[in-house]
Amino acid sequence: MLKLPAFTFLNGPPRSGKSTLADMIDRQDISMCRMSFAEPLRGALLGTFHPDRFSDMLQLNLRDPATKAQTIHGTTWTNEQFLIDYGTWLKSKTNEYILGDLAKQAIVHTDYYTRYVFDDCRTIGDVAPFINSYGASECLLVHVERRGAVWRPGDVGGSLLSLPGIRHIVVQNNSTPSDMLKQFELLTGSPAAKPPDPATTTTDQL
């Protein structure tokens, strides 16, 4: 079992390996729940442009790069650009903390789980509601670095590491997924666990 606080936030550029690491962390403990700040954005995209794919059985995999690159029928948007633009619009109409506040509301309804890993922390506004409500000691910020991975405009990126009070660690993803997990275990002081099959990977998300 990994030695983690209640909330673990993964931060890094697109395609850096956040989703891969989150998937491996999630498998280590049945009390862990993998979550995403982008879920409300995905729901808006599906409900607006893909209502026939809204059910769990038919839902589009909006974490898949090929799916995100597809153009929405009748528009010039790709699925990915809609998610980015809608997130920006939502913050402009509310505040920079809206995705964090919505994510915090979502965990209230998950009675089974006691710990959560978010695989798409992008800004201080995502993390701040959790620090304010649960305390910095219940939060861990993990910065994932990978050669060639480029930050998207608007992401805070590495400056999140300067966020006061919260514990930070940096994991390098320049080898195999299992090596990334071993680094994570070492940096968090977790007991060694048998890593998932190194050949098993997941695509990164928004």
Would you list the domain boundaries of the chain? 7-39+98-188, 41-93
**3-class state of residue 167 by DSSP:** strand
Query: Among residues 113, 115, 168, 165, which one has the least CA distance to residue 6?
Result: 115
Q: Given this model, what pLDDT does residue 203 score?
A: 47
Average pLDDT, the chain: 86
The answer to whether 33 touches 26, Cβ cutoff 8 Å, is yes
Rounded Cα distance, 204 and 173, in Å: 13
Q: What is the pLDDT of residues 156-202, one digit of tens each?
A: 655 566 677 789 999 999 999 999 999 999 999 987 545 445 554 44
At 102, is the pLDDT very low, low, confident or very high (cuts 50, 70, 90)?
A: very high
Helices assigned H by DSSP within 50-204:
65-68, 79-93, 98-108, 124-134, 177-188
Rounded Cα distance, 156 and 178, in Å: 27
Q: What is the pLDDT of residues 107-162, one digit of tens each?
A: 876 678 999 999 999 888 899 999 999 999 999 999 999 999 888 776 665 556 66
Q: Given this model, what pLDDT does residue 56 score?
A: 65
Give me the CATH code for the 7-39+98-188 domain, please. Answer: 3.40.50.300
Strand order of the β-sheet with 139-145 is 32-35, 115-121, 7-11, 139-145, 167-172
Could you tell me the CA-to-CA distances from 88 to 1, 38, 94, 119, 176 in Å, in that order?
Answer: 37, 12, 10, 19, 33
At 72, list the tokens: 């929405």
